[in-house]
Chains A and B, each alone.
Chain A
Amino acid sequence: MSVLEVKNISKRFGETEVLKDVGFSLEKGEVIAIIGSSGSGKTTLLRCLNFLETPDGGQIYVNGEILFDASNHKLLTEKDIRKIRLHFGLVFQSFNLFPQYTALSNVKLAGELLAKERSDYKENHKTILKEIDENASGLMLQVGLTDKMHLYPHQLSGGQQQRVAIARALALSPDVLCFDEPTSALDPELTGEVLKVIRALTEKNTTMVIVTHEMQFARDVADKVVFMDDGFVVEAGTPEEVFGHPKQERTIRFLERYSNL
Chain B
Amino acid sequence: MFQTVLISLNEGFLKTLEIFGLTLLGAFPLGLIIAFGSTSQFRPLKYLVKFIVWVVRGTPLMLQLLIIYYGPGLLLGSNWWGNGSSGRFTAALAAFIINYACYFSEIYRGGIEGVPKGQSEAGQVLGMTSSQIFFRITLLQVIKRIVPPMGNEIITLVKDTSLARVIAVYEIIWSGQMFIKSSGVIWPLFFTGVYYLIFSGVLTLLLGRLEKKLEFFRV
Total B residues in contact with A, Cβ cutoff 8 Å = 23
Q: Is A109's CB under 8 angstroms from B136's CB?
A: yes
| Assembled-state Cα–Cα distance A89/B126 (Å) | 7
Beyond known contacts A83-B127, A172-B126: 20 more, CB 8 A cutoff: A50-B125, A51-B124, A52-B121, A85-B127, A92-B122, A94-B118, A96-B118, A97-B122, A98-B119, A98-B123, A99-B141, A100-B216, A110-B123, A113-B128, A152-B216, A152-B217, A153-B217, A168-B126, A169-B125, A169-B126
Task: Tell me which residues across on chain A come within 8 A of B121, comparing CB atoms.
Answer: 52, 92, 96
Q: Is B83 an interface residue (CB 8 A)?
A: no
Q: Is B132 an interface residue (CB 8 A)?
A: yes
The 6 nearest A-B residue pairs measured at CB: A110-B126, A96-B118, A96-B122, A154-B218, A100-B217, A99-B217
Q: Is A215 an interface residue (CB 8 A)?
A: no
Q: How far is the CB of B16 from chain A (nearest CB, A)?
A: 36
For residues 147 through 193 of chain A, which have their beta carbon under 8 Å from a beta carbon of chain B? 152-154, 168-169, 172
A residues neighboring B (CB under 8 Å): 50-52, 78, 82-83, 85-86, 88-90, 92, 94, 96-100, 109-110, 113-114, 152-154, 168-169, 172
B residues neighboring A (CB under 8 Å): 116, 118-119, 121-130, 132, 136-137, 140-141, 144, 216-219
Q: Is A96's CB under 8 angstroms from B127's CB?
A: no
Task: Tell me which residues across on chain A come within 8 A of B128, comparing CB atoms.
Answer: 82, 110, 113
Majority-rule SS of B interface residues? helix
Q: How far is the CB of B213 from chain A (nearest CB, A)?
A: 12
Q: How far is the CB of B80 from chain A (nearest CB, A)?
A: 44
Q: Is A88's CB under 8 angstroms from B217's CB?
A: no
| Assembled-state Cα–Cα distance A88/B126 (Å) | 9
Q: Is B127's CB under 8 angstroms from A114's CB?
A: yes
Task: Tell me which residues across on chain B come within 8 A of A113, comparing CB atoms.
Answer: 128, 132, 136
Task: Tell me which residues across on chain B come within 8 A of A152, comparing CB atoms.
Answer: 216-218
Task: Tell me which residues across on chain A come within 8 A of B141, comparing CB atoms.
Answer: 99-100
Task: Tell me which residues across on chain B come within 8 A of A90, comparing CB atoms.
Answer: 125
Q: Is A98's CB under 8 angstroms from B219's CB?
A: no
Q: Is B219's CB under 8 angstroms from A99's CB?
A: yes
Q: How far is the CB of B29 from chain A (nearest CB, A)?
A: 24
Task: Tell me which residues across on chain A come within 8 A of B219, comparing CB atoms.
Answer: 99
| Assembled-state Cα–Cα distance A99/B215 (Å) | 11
| Assembled-state Cα–Cα distance A152/B215 (Å) | 11
The contact sample of 13 A-B pairs, CB cut-off 8 A, is A78-B129, A78-B130, A82-B129, A85-B124, A96-B118, A96-B122, A98-B137, A109-B136, A113-B128, A113-B132, A154-B217, A154-B218, A172-B126
Known contacts A92-B118, A113-B132, A113-B136: A99-B127 contact under CB 8 Å: no
| Assembled-state Cα–Cα distance A64/B189 (Å) | 82
| Assembled-state Cα–Cα distance A152/B217 (Å) | 7
Task: Tell me which residues across on chain B come within 8 A of A86, comparing CB atoms.
Answer: 127
Question: Which of A50, A85, A99 is the one whose CB lies under 8 Å from B218?
Answer: A99
Q: How far is the CB of A112 from chain B (nearest CB, A)?
A: 10
Q: Is A96's CB under 8 angstroms from B129's CB?
A: no
Q: Is A88's CB under 8 angstroms from B218's CB?
A: no
Task: Tell me which residues across on chain B come within 8 A of A78, comparing CB atoms.
Answer: 129-130
| Assembled-state Cα–Cα distance A100/B119 (Å) | 11
* Closest A residue, CB atoms, query B116: A96
| Assembled-state Cα–Cα distance A110/B141 (Å) | 18
| Assembled-state Cα–Cα distance A89/B125 (Å) | 7
Known contacts A96-B118, A99-B219: A172-B127 contact under CB 8 Å: yes
Q: How far is the CB of A148 from chain B (nearest CB, A)?
A: 15
| Assembled-state Cα–Cα distance A99/B142 (Å) | 12
Task: Tell me which residues across on chain A come within 8 A of B123, comparing CB atoms.
Answer: 98, 110
Q: How far is the CB of B28 from chain A (nearest CB, A)?
A: 21
| Assembled-state Cα–Cα distance A110/B136 (Å) | 10
Question: Which of A88, A97, A153 is the one whose CB lies under 8 Å from B125?
Answer: A88
Task: Tell me which residues across on chain B come within 8 A of A89, comparing CB atoms.
Answer: 125
